[in-house]
């Protein structure tokens, strides 16, 4: 197996083989709100990579174009935006909360075949960028299937460094960072959600594992309410809102302390319904 050069684009150019690579390009965490300078959250080399790529596979074409415009303001794009090939990934049928992809290798093979045509530019020698709407592609976001297809085709996959709200929230929480799980979304139904919260507490106790989960922003307050209602008083609960954004905040306290709203100040803010949040518990 050949090795994947992971240096600057210039270096990578000289290493380029007959086949292109799938380059995982991190996005900001502001969901296109342009609330921050790109250089405040992304390394310069990532902006240089993004400015150079001609072929893109993206979660959402509109937000990808907005991202590339912001890149252009920092590092001029090598080709005009209109000249770039920007293709949306197939959307999962049931949104981001669907169960993991097909488990059988036959089904995986079929899905990989469907993905292969999207990777045709890489097979023809062009590096292809993969971009999601926020953070790292393929982490709590679409993209894993296309990455798996790339491996199946023997393409090199090059992940570029960038922010992950999940791990920033974990670092900021003070909860156990040596053992943790990301479990996606909790059920929307109140009874099922309460059961799931208690199940996660059980897993956290049994496996000594921090449990990390997310919610669509407009349900943040409902989830927080459910956590304060259903979780045990001694469970440590961390919330990170608007990570890397102005006005962002995070706080860790026991459920009992959250209930009393005495976590250092009496004026706990309501959870905003527009900013993404990450929730973590350790029982």
Q: Which residues contact 210 (CB under 8 A, 6 or more apart)?
A: 170, 173, 175, 176, 177, 179, 180, 181, 204, 280, 281, 282
> For residue 138, is it left (φ>0), alpha (ψ between -120 and 50) or beta?
left
Is residue 245 within 8 Å of 134, Cβ to Cβ? no
Identity of the residue, 42 or 281, whose beta carbon is nearer to a second copy in the bound complex: 42
- Structure tokens that stand for 209 in this block: 């594992």
Q: Which residues contact 247 (CB under 8 A, 6 or more apart)?
A: 275
To which residue do tokens 């252009």 refer?
72
Q: For 128, phi and psi rounded to 5 degrees?
A: -120, 130
- Nearest approach in angstroms of CB 80 to a second copy is 26
- Nearest approach in angstroms of CB 83 to a second copy is 27
Identity of the residue, 193 or 251, whose beta carbon is nearer to a second copy in the bound complex: 251
- Nearest approach in angstroms of CB 26 to a second copy is 9
Residue 10, number of CB atoms within 10 A of its CB:
9
Q: Half-sphere exposure of 9 toward its Cβ, with a 13 Å CA cutoff?
A: 17
- Nearest approach in angstroms of CB 278 to a second copy is 11
């Amino acid at each position: 197996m050949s090795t994947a050069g992971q240096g600057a684009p210039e270096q990578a150019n000289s290493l380029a083989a007959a086949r292109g690579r799938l380059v995982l390009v991190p996005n900001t965490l502001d969901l296109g709100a342009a609330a921050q300078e790109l250089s405040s959250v992304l390394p310069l080399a990532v902006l240089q990579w993004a400015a150079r790529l001609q072929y893109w596979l993206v979660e959402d074409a509109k937000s990808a174009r907005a991202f590339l415009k912001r890149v252009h303001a920092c590092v001029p794009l090598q080709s005009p935006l209109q000249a770039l090939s920007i293709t949306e990934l197939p959307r999962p049928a049931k949104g981001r909360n669907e169960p993991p992809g097909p488990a059988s290798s036959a089904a995986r093979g079929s899905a990989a075949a469907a993905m292969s045509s999207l990777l045709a530019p890489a097979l023809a020698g062009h590096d292809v960028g993969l971009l999601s709407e926020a953070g790292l592609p393929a982490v709590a976001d679409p993209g894993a299937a296309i990455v798996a297809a790339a491996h199946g085709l023997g393409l090199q996959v090059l992940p570029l460094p960038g922010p992950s709200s999940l791990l920033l929230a974990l670092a900021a929480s003070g909860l156990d960072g040596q053992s943790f799980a990301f479990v996606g979304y909790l059920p929307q139904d109140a009874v099922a959600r309460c059961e799931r919260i208690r199940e996660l507490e059980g897993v956290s106790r049994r496996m000594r594992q921090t449990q990390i989960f997310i919610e669509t922003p407009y349900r943040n307050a409902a989830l927080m309410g459910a956590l304060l209602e259903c979780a045990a008083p001694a469970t440590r609960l961390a919330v990170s809102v608007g990570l890397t954004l102005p006005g962002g905040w995070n706080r860790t306290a026991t459920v009992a302390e959250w209930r009393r709203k005495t976590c250092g100040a009496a004026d706990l803010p309501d959870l905003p319904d527009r900013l993404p949040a990450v929730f973590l518990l350790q029982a």
